[in-house]
Amino acid sequence: MNFTNRIVLLTGGTGALGAVIAQAFLKNGAHVTTTYHGPRSFAELQAALGEEKSRLTGISTDVTKEAGMQTLVEQTINNFGRVDVLVNLVGGYMGGVNLVDTTEVDWERMLTLNLKSTFLSCKAVLPHMLKQNYGRIVNTSSRGAVEVGPGAAAYAVSKAGVLTLTQSLAQEVKAHNITANVVLPGLIDTPQNRQGLPGADYSKWVAPASIAHLMLYLASAEAGAINGAVVPNYGKS
C-alpha cells in the first residue's frame, strides 16, 4: 500500500501497538504525526526507525481535552496543509470489577480515555477532511464491546460507544469521499499483556503487525468502498 506524501495523524502512536502502526505507515511513505505523553516514549519510537524518522512528527498534547485536540490538528495543518488519515489508538482497560463496585471515577475514566478521545479527534479533523473532500478515519474498539463478560462494564460500554460513533459518522461523511471504519482487536500480543497473563498461549493472541496491516488497508485510497465496517481481528482464540 502506497502512502507516499499522505498525511497521517495517529493518537497514541508511541504505545506497543501504536509504534508498530506508526512504523508501518512510515515504511509505506507516509508523513506521520503522533501524540505522546512523555518525551521518552517518542524518543524510543524515533530510535526504532531508520531514515523514515525524518517523516515523523511528535506532538505532546492531551487528547481527552478539546483544546488539546484542536492544537494537535492545527499544528498538523500548519506543517502539512491537510490531514488525509486519522487513526485513533488512545485507550485504556479496566476489568475485574463488577458494576456494583465500579466507582464514578473509574466509569468516567473509561469513557474519557476510550470514547471521548475518539469523539474529540474525529470532531477536530472532520472540518479539514470535508473541505478537501477526502479522508480515512480508522477507530479502535474491542472484541470486548461485542462479547461482553463480567467485571468489565465500564470498558465494554466505552468501546461499544466507539463502535456506534464510527457507524454514525460513516453515514454523515459518505457523500464526501470520507470513510470511517472501526477495528475490533482481541487480546493483543504486547509485553504488557504478556506480563499480566504469564503462561498464556501467546500464539493465539493478535499480532500487532496483523492489526497494522488491516488498519493500513482501511486507511488506503483503495479502501474507499468500505465505510461503516466493523472489522474483527481476534487472532486464533
The three-state secondary structure class of 62 is coil
Question: From the CA atom positions of the chain, what is the Rg in Å?
Answer: 17
The three-state secondary structure class of 70 is helix
E strands along the chain, which residues?
Answer: 7-11, 31-36, 56-60, 85-88, 135-140, 178-185, 230-233
* Span 63-73, pLDDT tens digits: 999 999 999 99
Q: Which of 36, 93, 155, 202 is catalytic?
A: 155
Give the pLDDT score at 38. 85
Q: Is the pLDDT of residue 1 over 90?
A: no
Cell, residue 93? 482497560
Give the pLDDT score at 177. 98
C-alpha–C-alpha distance, residues 49 and 103, integer Å = 41
* Span 93-108, pLDDT tens digits: 999 999 999 999 999 9
Q: Is the pLDDT of residue 37 over 90?
A: no
Q: Is the pLDDT of residue 212 over 90?
A: yes
Give the pLDDT score at 237. 83
Kindly report the backbone phi and psi dihedral angles of residue 195, in degrees, each rounded to the nearest multiple of 5, phi listed first.
-65, -35
Mean pLDDT of the chain: 96
Residues 130-155: what's their mean pLDDT?
Answer: 97
Active-site annotation holds for 155: yes
* Span 155-170, pLDDT tens digits: 999 999 999 999 999 9
* Long-range CB pairs of 142-147, under 8 A, 24+ apart, other chains included: 142/184, 142/185, 143/184, 143/185, 143/186, 143/187, 143/232, 143/234, 145/184, 146/184
Q: Shortest CA distance to 19 belongs to which of 212, 180, 218, 216?
A: 212
In percent, the amount of the chain with pLDDT more than 70 equals: 100
* Span 53-90, pLDDT tens digits: 999 999 999 999 999 999 999 999 999 999 999 999 99
Torsion of CA 64, 108, 235, 35, to 10 degrees: 10
